[in-house]
Structure 1
């Protein structure tokens, strides 16, 4: 593929193709880039074999690209969550089932976790108010739909209560992910037996935290 392939997008379909190509390229690059905020317009343009000016036709900044990827990851995650909630288990329809399905499907999507952990501190910078509104509406839509999914699984708890639960669960993910994935130096230090109590296991600790939230906030 050459750069010139992406110079002239005339129709809406062609423009959407270019936009899709940029998002797919971003996802591929994020597999190789340890820190998500290192993916800027320069890196994206090189990876997509497009000029910077062409990239700017579709996204105002690297952060805008990553926010879009995050919303897409959330939509995919919700589909996987619904499948997990519908599986037959002994504790189906209980808070244990909900916490387990929530934590396992989140933990299975590292890119979702990485982007979620930095969106309030890094990704929500260098984007326009218009783009921010679009992102927030996408976030709110997924939250409301997920709350309804939980309510369908456990009708004794209202969708509104589950919305509040998800609202509180988000900071838990934001905090637990970096603690569970420390840098090399910190990882070596907490590998010491005498510092074992400082280690975090994202999947296990997220499930425990979700259960605490459900029991405390929902009074069940």
Structure 2
């Protein structure tokens, strides 16, 4: 994709979408490169994207609105990847669902990272209009993934997979920061007596998802 010229204002819809996507790609590259979310202000984004801050504001009201858009993209791509994994699995057992769900999530660390700060940081500083739009996107994501799961393994009803998705996201939000400790804490957790407090995101997420599925199976059977 061609980098926009500095200070050049996009006027046609396709130009505006190109500028918007360029900002998202720039932010994604910075965050994948190790930048902390707190460091990614719109001034820094504008500098890296070779755009003025006023132009950045034409696309995102603030940093949190940008992060919401990134999370929407990341989660949509995750849903496609989960569907591909499920389609390749025969048969699709609860164990397979847990492995594919955990594996496809671990393969998207930026998505997990953004979900982990969604309720405490991102959602606290965006407009009600943008929040409404995002929550409707989240409902569509949950419903779409639940439908994929139901088609792959109809042993549970669609409504059970909707509940599974709701609880899985909550589990991801809590587990990701536990499995990604700061450097000082990571060193402390290397002590032999403290190793039981260490978390491996993919392995522990998969375990939690399987327990959730088993519980939903028991409830459905009752």
Q: Do Structure 1 and Structure 2 share a fold, with TM-score over 0.5?
A: yes
Q: Which residue of 2 aligns with 1:95?
A: 94
Q: Any conservation in 2 of the 1:37–1:122 contact (CA below 8 Å)?
A: no
Judged with a 3 Å threshold, the aligned counterparts in structure 2 of structure 1 residues 129 and 71 are, in CA distance, closer, same or farther, namely: same
* Residues in 2 aligned to 1:170 and 1:23: alpha-carbon distance in whole angstroms: 23
Trace 1:101-180 onto structure 2 (pairs within 5 A): 101-180=100-179
1:158 shift after superposition: 1.2
Question: 1:15-71: per-residue Cα shift (whole Å, max 9, x none)?
Answer: 111111111111011123442232111111111011111000110001100110001
* Residues in 1 aligned to 2:214 and 2:29: alpha-carbon distance in whole angstroms: 39
Question: 1:60-115: per-residue Cα shift (whole Å, max 9, x none)?
Answer: 001100110001000100111011101134xx221111111100100111111111
Q: Any conservation in 1 of the 2:22–2:49 contact (CA below 8 Å)?
A: yes
Question: 1:177-201: per-residue Cα shift (whole Å, max 9, x none)?
Answer: 1111100110000011111111101
Determine if the alignment matches structure 1 residue 13 to structure 2 residue 14.
yes
Q: Which residue of 1 aligns with 2:39?
A: 38
Judged with a 3 Å threshold, the aligned counterparts in structure 2 of structure 1 residues 46 and 87 are, in CA distance, closer, same or farther, namely: same
Which structure 1 segments of 5+ residues have no match? none
Q: Any conservation in 2 of the 1:173–1:206 contact (CA below 8 Å)?
A: yes
Determine if the alignment matches structure 1 residue 194 to structure 2 residue 193.
yes
Which structure 2 segments of 5+ residues have no match? none
* Residues in 1 aligned to 2:196 and 2:145: alpha-carbon distance in whole angstroms: 33
Q: Which residue of 1 aligns with 2:53?
A: 52
* Residues in 1 aligned to 2:112 and 2:156: alpha-carbon distance in whole angstroms: 27
1:9 shift after superposition: 1.0
Q: Any conservation in 1 of the 2:143–2:162 contact (CA below 8 Å)?
A: yes
TM-score by length of 2: 0.93
Q: Which residue of 1 aligns with 2:67?
A: 66
Over aligned residue pairs, what C-alpha RMSD do you find? 1.6
Aligned residues: 218
Judged with a 3 Å threshold, the aligned counterparts in structure 2 of structure 1 residues 124 and 208 are, in CA distance, closer, same or farther, namely: same
* Residues in 1 aligned to 2:44 and 2:80: alpha-carbon distance in whole angstroms: 30
TM-score by length of 1: 0.94
* Residues in 2 aligned to 1:61 and 1:93: alpha-carbon distance in whole angstroms: 42
